[in-house]
Amino acid sequence: MSKQTHAFQAEVAQLLHLVTHSLYSNQEIFLREMISNASDACDKLRFEALNNSALFEDAPELQVRLSFDKTAKTLTITDNGIGMTAQEAIDHLGTIAKSGTKDFVSKLSGDQKSDAQLIGQFGVGFYSGFIVADKITVETRRAGAASAEGVRWISGGTGDFEVETIARAERGTSVVLHLREEALDYANTWKLKEIVGKYSDHISLPILMEKEEWKDGELIEPNNEEGGRQPGGMVKTGEWETINKASALWTRPKKDITDEQYADFYKQISRDFEAPLTWTHNRVEGSTEYTQLLYIPSKAPQDLWNRDKKAGIKLYVKRVFIMDEAEALMPSYLRFVKGVVDSADLPLNVSRELLQESRDVKAIREGCTKRVLSMLEDLAKHDKAPAATEGVTDVLSDEDKAKLGQYTKFYAEFGAVLKEGLGEDFGNQARLSKLLRFASSTHDNVSVSFADYKARMKDGQDAIYYITADTLAAAKNSPQLEVFKKKGIEVLLMTDRVDEWALNFVNEFDGTPLQSVAKGAFDLGKLQDEEEKKATEDAAETFKPMLAKLKEALKDKAEDVRVTSRLVDSPACLVVTDDGMSMQLARMLKQAGQSAPDVKPVLEVNPEHALVKKLDGSVHFHDLAHILFDQALLAEGGLPADPAAYVKRVNALLS
């Protein structure tokens, strides 16, 4: 193929500037990305060679090589991995977030098609090279192709790139970065070794560089009046040395790994710039043997709530990379967990069907889940307010001190996702319930656990009270809370969208039932004295005719109308029956485009409120009845079915 010019995908042209100026705040990250891509190419070759060992050709030892030329101002990253054909180079280097592994999937069939989804995807890492280079040249040949089928790809990172066929004896890929003037520091052995040690030391492949040694300057000819020697300098010896440990970090003993190395490894596998919140590294032995290195990020990704996005941990079998996002090894509600599992038992040709059904995979999944929950329980155990730890922190270990406050940070980022486990993981439901935190009507800005709440329950209180709402303000100011505030009874305020759904699966905590203050008839049991109960009963009898009129006027809106003692300042509120769907959940389902029943709530009125007293005999009874209902609906977080009619009624009464 003669030289051809192709335009970048539109997104590439638009994003190149962003990538090179904004995406990477630390310039040296480019080398981490390039080495990672080279490692991925070798992983892919190793995977394909399981069924076709001829792909190794005459070079079975996989490796990555770094070299530079100060005179030419170039830095080259070379791997002897899978390589690319001309069309693959056009497709994969001209498109953001597309890799050889992605289209590689569609070329396979049967179990292999599932296997191919085990390979990691590319992303925007390649384009980080333009941070330090004003031109990139890629020379590559796919494993198994003839030496005459090599490819050269060249671009200045602007609107287009050139591709031509070349002769290339070696399989794999060389990425040549033509360094900018301000980036010539990267054509330096010491600098490159420092970056590799910082970001890529864990790569299981050897990363090689040519050795250098000092050479004294040559003597100047005697007839030269200046005499002496020419300047000396470092020269390459022709020998190559491994500059990384070349062993998978998770296979090393924990005592030999520093916290900094753990954090750097996390950044490498997650492409996260933040250090992880915590991690666990264990060798599990028994009927199923595997090593797990699991991380909890410090920040939630922007796509955390994208249910279509694959998420999971990297799966290796006997250090052979198998799957980039092994969803079967971690439940969905822990999809934020990053890390590596290296199994000694799974077959190398593991398929998606096997991952879903295998007894060993289920054992790994259960083991990883329990390990993550143990991590969270440990963080929660030490997560105390500063006042609660005064006089205590001096006896804690440095490791335990570092955990103080970490669970609060974790829960702010991932608490809502964790609640999904209540409906997905019944085996660990009790453990998850202990990890949940909520706002409270009596404790501002404090995350309260069920256990904390239960320890503060009043004598005679036989339920944990809670309310769900769209916002914290709506929950705090809900009319349903008025009598609880009056009596000093704590109510948990639940404002995550997942709360309504999750609480359908949890009816009690440690033997104490959970009770929504917006469901069922009001009954505080022993917390309500006989006089209050008698007053409510008398009011119900006194207002019986008016209640009947209200029920008739609101027959299309309310299932029932009754007197209540739960209200103090408000004239009315809406509740649903004990077994009915809450109005908030019905709204959420409709907003999500799902079918939901039309919920007809119960209108409860406060017999002591002046507005309610004025209803009986009012010439505006019908309008007041509808205003009363619609105001209660607004206070609950809903909207009137006919907002214009509501405004018209209010304006008529005001005028």
The CATH number linked to 450 is 3.40.50.11260
- Give me the CATH number covering residue 121: 3.30.565.10
The pLDDT, as a whole number, for residue 248 is 79
pLDDT at 388 over 50: no
Outline where DSSP puts E strands in 506-601: 508-509, 512-516, 560-563, 572-575
Q: Please give the torsion angle defined by the CA atoms of residues 90, 92, 95 and 98, in that order, rounded to the nearest 10 degrees.
A: 160
Written as one string, the DSSP assignment of 587-633 is: HHHHHTT-------PEEEE-TTSHHHHHHTT-TTHHHHHHHHHHHHH
- Give me the CATH number covering residue 283: 3.30.230.80
Does residue 593 sit in the same domain as residue 646? yes
Does residue 292 sit in the same domain as residue 317? yes
423 phi and psi angles, rounded to 5 deg: -100, -10
**How many domains does the chain divide into?**
3
The answer to whether residues 150 and 168 touch, using CB atoms and an 8 Å cutoff, is yes
Does residue 259 sit in the same domain as residue 182? no
Does residue 556 sit in the same domain as residue 647? yes
CA angle 80, 86, 91 (to 5 degrees): 100
CB contact burial 554-585 (16+ within 10 A = b; e otherwise): beebbbbbbbbbbbbebbbbbbbeeebbbbbb
Using CB atoms within 10 Å of the CB of residue 466, give its burial: 0 to 12 exposed, 13 to 18 middle, 19+ buried. Answer: buried
Measured between alpha carbons, how far is 174 from 159 in angstroms, rounded to an integer? Answer: 22
Q: How many CB atoms lie within 10 A of CB 365?
A: 20
- 389 belongs to a structural domain: no
- 371 belongs to a structural domain: yes
- 280 belongs to a structural domain: yes
- 423 belongs to a structural domain: no
For 481-491, write each residue's pLDDT tens digit: 988 898 899 99
- 253 belongs to a structural domain: yes
Chain centroid to Cα 497, Å, comes to: 17
pLDDT at 394 over 70: no
Q: Which helix (H) or strand (E) holds 73?
A: none
Does residue 232 sit in the same domain as residue 277? no
Does residue 448 sit in the same domain as residue 576? yes
- pLDDT band with cut points at 50, 70 and 90 for residue 399: low
- 582 belongs to a structural domain: yes
Does residue 337 sit in the same domain as residue 456? no
For 571-626, write each residue's pLDDT tens digit: 999 888 877 777 777 777 776 667 766 778 889 888 888 888 888 778 888 889 99
317 phi and psi angles, rounded to 5 deg: -125, 115
For 518-536, write each residue's pLDDT tens digit: 887 777 777 777 777 788 7
Q: Please give the torsion angle defined by the CA atoms of residues 61, 66, 69 and 74, in that order, rounded to the nearest 10 degrees.
A: 120
Does residue 607 sit in the same domain as residue 475? yes
Domain boundary among 214, 242, 270: 242
- pLDDT band with cut points at 50, 70 and 90 for residue 272: confident
Measured between alpha carbons, how far is 125 from 96 in angstroms, rounded to an integer? Answer: 9
Average of per-residue pLDDT across 144-158: 92
343 phi and psi angles, rounded to 5 deg: -100, 145
Closest-CA residue to 520 (of 557, 469, 573) = 573
Measured between alpha carbons, how far is 354 from 116 in angstroms, rounded to an integer? Answer: 14
Average of per-residue pLDDT across 33-47: 87
Average of per-residue pLDDT across 249-272: 87
Does residue 523 sit in the same domain as residue 626? yes
Domain boundary among 219, 242, 265: 242
- 390 belongs to a structural domain: no
> What stretches of 187-279 show up as alpha helix (H) in DSSP?
189-199, 259-270
Measured between alpha carbons, how far is 610 from 615 in angstroms, rounded to an integer? Answer: 9
For 47-61, write each residue's pLDDT tens digit: 888 889 999 998 999
For 86-102, write each residue's pLDDT tens digit: 999 888 776 543 433 33
Q: Which domain holds residue 337?
A: 249-382
Does residue 293 sit in the same domain as residue 192? no
pTM recorded for the entire structure: 0.65
Does residue 136 sit in the same domain as residue 188? yes
Domain boundary among 242, 271, 292: 242
Does residue 541 sit in the same domain as residue 562? yes
pLDDT at 333 over 70: yes
- 393 belongs to a structural domain: no
pLDDT at 232 over 70: no
